[in-house]
Amino acid sequence: MNVLLEKLKEVLISVVPIIILVLVLNFTIIPMEPLLVFRFLLGALLIVLGLAIFLFGVDIGISKIGTLMGGALTKSNKLWIVVAAGLVLGFFISIAEPDLHILAGQVDMVTSGVIAKLSIVVVVSIGIAVMLTTGLVRIIYNIPLYKLLTVLYLIILGLSFFTSSEFLAISFDASGATTGALTVPFMLALALGVSSLKKDGKASEKDSFGLVAVTSAGAIIAVMIMSILSKQDEITGSLQESVQVSSSLLAPFINKLPVVAFEIFIALLPIMFMFFLFQKISFKLSSKAYRKVLKGLVYTFIGLVLFLTGVNAGFMEVGSKIGYNVAVLDSKWIIVVIGFILGLVVILAEPAVYVLTHQIEDVTSGYVKRPVVLIALSIGVAFAVSLSMIRILIPGLQLWHFLLPGYVVSILMMYFVPKLFVGMAFDAGGVASGPMTATFILAFAQGAAEAIEGANVMVDGFGVIAMVAMTPIIALQTLGFIFKMKSVKEGLKENEA
């Protein structure tokens, strides 16, 4: 119970800034209907409760399964077992990821069915399966992460020249959406399990990061190939039909709850099935440990259902409303400032960010402190959202004007930064763009794009997640530079002494 209260305290600290920001905006420059505000507050309550229960469940359930499974795969010492398990796990975990379904649904709706929901989900899942396997093989065979990422991003760079701007936005967003609240803790634990069984401890510290990064590249490549093969060019979309305003406070929550519960149940199925299978074949946990993991899965389920119901029924509409109302104001540049502040605070409430920052602190034995990583992430995401707003305001600016130099800088930095930070930074890119970003910030950007003349909801609205996935990579690698400088200085001091 103490652990749960501890989590509740942590979550409260990170969700309160968003609540304050929205309330301040409501009472100052953009008054909203009281019903919307009450619904937002109810959503916030569900988010706080849900996130705390979810994180507690992840600790004793999902992370435990991932670590055990990683260990079991490495012990088998057979490449084909690792490959087969990687492909099966990757495909089904991705198919089951609710974030991916949200994104695919939005794309389907905005394109009026031109790009069907199912086709995006299947294509992305195949990409994820192939890359999860590649990532696991990389850890086992000690292939340097920066070399693999360089190759992957050069492929992405090459494909991007043949991909239409709409699909460019969707492909980067898909990579963000697949690294959601369930997949990230599982992948981080899987990587930890595989790397901890390797003989040399130093490499295992480095290798416990980077799997999320390699895997999310698979989603980008898959959607780009889909775009080139399907020759879909101009797609325009509008938000009009997507914002249904309900006149009741509770109706949206009651409608959302069963839908979300079913989605999360499906999302947990592959992990549960794998756990039962491995328990029979290899884990053979004592009945007490087995029950504890099952309890963790139940907590994960309850927490995630509450969290996603809160986000979808309480936050999404408010995000869209704020974006739209601020963009209609006379002074257009206010939206850039509000975007910056939103970016700063929203990332703190992202479920997977918790899991990653705690793992960074654990794996580095407290050398890289959690608050430091959070500050770097917050600043990165704040820039991502404000730059996205500038892009929506200035018609000539394209998404690739930011992504191309951004990823070139990210790849170059890999060669100079301490290698531990490379995996952390690229993982953080996938982690930052979780359900909070995929709903609240995406809705905010789409609302703004809808209100500004000449902006296209499809290109400008969706591109924001791509930006949020890129800036943390630069922010955390910069942090790596700072740590490098610090250790050089400390080394000099020791030598002088």
Spell out the domain ranges in the chain: 1-233+247-488
Q: What is the pLDDT of residue 212?
A: 92
Q: What is the DSSP letter of 204?
A: H
Q: What is the pLDDT of residue 450?
A: 87
Q: What is the pLDDT of residue 287?
A: 93
CA proximity to 194, closest of 76, 33, 355, 324: 76
Q: What is the pLDDT of residue 237?
A: 57
Question: CA quadruple 247, 251, 255, 256: dihedral positive or negative?
Answer: positive
CB burial string 35-64: b at 16+ within 10 A, e below: ebbebbebbbebbbbbbbbbbbbbbbbbbb
Q: What is the pLDDT of residue 282?
A: 87
Q: What is the pLDDT of residue 199?
A: 60
Q: What is the pLDDT of residue 241?
A: 39
Query: Which position has the token pair 């930064």?
Result: 417
Q: What is the pLDDT of residue 197?
A: 76
Q: What is the pLDDT of residue 236?
A: 58
Spell out, as residue ranges, where the chain has pLDDT lower than 50. 240-243
